[in-house]
Amino acid sequence: MDLRAPLTFRPAYQTLVWGGRRLQKWRPDLPPGPIGESWDLADHQRGMSVVAQGALAGRTLRELVVQAGPALVGAGFHGGVFPLMVKVIDAADHLSVQVHPDDATASILGAGDRGKTECWVILSDGGALFQGTRPGVNREAFERALADRTLAATLNRFEGRAGDVFFIEARTVHALGEGCLLYEIQQTSDITFRVYDWDRMGLDGKPRPLHVAESLATVDFSRAGFGPIRPAWQTDQGSRIASRSLVTCPHFVVDQFRVPAGATLRRPSRDVCAVVTCIDGRGVLATDGGALPLVPMQTALLPAAAGSWRAEGDSATLDLLVASPQL
């Protein structure tokens, strides 16, 4: 299997009660209805990525992982699912107040063997984000607020601002408010415990299931240090390429690069795959084995076997997120 070229995948769209229609600006294939998420890279039965073009077109990400694990993911990969998922989220309405377990809690609760730590990169101004409980809110106060339908008052609320980053460590209660548009990079997991859903009905006209007991067993009420991350940009004087480190955690590393027109971002081989997402601008993503055009709101996977890679901007600044798993 030749894995020397960049790979792109067909998006797996998720119709959700809180979804919107903003993605149609970039996605001519957007299906009708409220589309809350586009799973742009996913090794998951609810939305499996399928290679969109090239010699491997039609192959699923699951097939690639099974047949060429370390060559695709990296030398430290020892089996299992592809470790990262990338989504675009369009919240036209509030998401449920929810929490994801970590690996250990997921196992204890019988929900699976992999938890879900994630990060959000906000794409446009607007909307509100809820992250973690406010100081002094313990489990008892949280349960009282849940019974009184005043749960939102126990959460830290932040305004959405383009360029902000939120690190949502597993076991952190959180929610997205109406109007948020963002990219999400996360562990490959779809375990979500809903603790409150704003008393609304689902698409079938019935309340969506809640997982109150599991949520209360998962939320870490001692956690603090919430709010947007705003790392400083560093600009290379020679290439004029700006960069900033967004998140480094035990599961993944995420960086951002802004490549001016005519410049070339060059990244060495690190024996681990890279997931490159174009936020804005146009250009070309290339390895020694192949190249593909970069367009806004597109994600590509650079297999570990592809080695070093480069991204060249065309007529405007190319804004890229680059994520790699920690193996």
> What's the rounded mean pLDDT across residues 266-291?
96
Banded model confidence at residue 178, pLDDT cuts 50, 70, 90: very high
The domains spanning 7-218 and 234-325 adopt the same CATH topology: yes
Rounded-to-integer distance, Cα 78 and Cα 259, Å: 34
Contact of 134 with 219, CB cutoff 8 Å: no
Q: How far apart are the first and last CA of the chain?
A: 22
Superfamily of 7-218 according to CATH: Jelly Rolls (2.60.120.10)
pLDDT at residue number 316: 85
- For 239-248, how does the pLDDT look when each residue is reduced to its tens digit (9 = 90+)? 999 999 999 9
Domain 234-325 is in which class? Answer: mainly beta
Evaluate if residue 300 carries a pLDDT over 80: yes
* pLDDT tens, position by position, 45-76: 999 999 999 999 999 999 999 999 999 999 99
- In which element (H, E) is residue 148 found? helix 139-148
Pairing of strands 242-248, 252-259: antiparallel
DSSP string for 219-285: --TT----S-B-PPPEE-TTT--EEEEEEE-SSEEEEEEEE-TT-EEEE---SB-EEEEEEE--EEE
Note the residue count of the chain: 327
Q: Would you list the domain boundaries of the chain?
A: 7-218, 234-325
Q: Which pLDDT value is given to residue 315?
A: 76
List, for residues 121-152, the tens digit of each pLDDT value: 999 999 999 999 999 999 999 999 999 999 99
Looking at residue 225, what is its pLDDT?
93
> Closest Cα partner for 61 from 46, 41, 79?
41
Percent of the chain with pLDDT over 70: 100
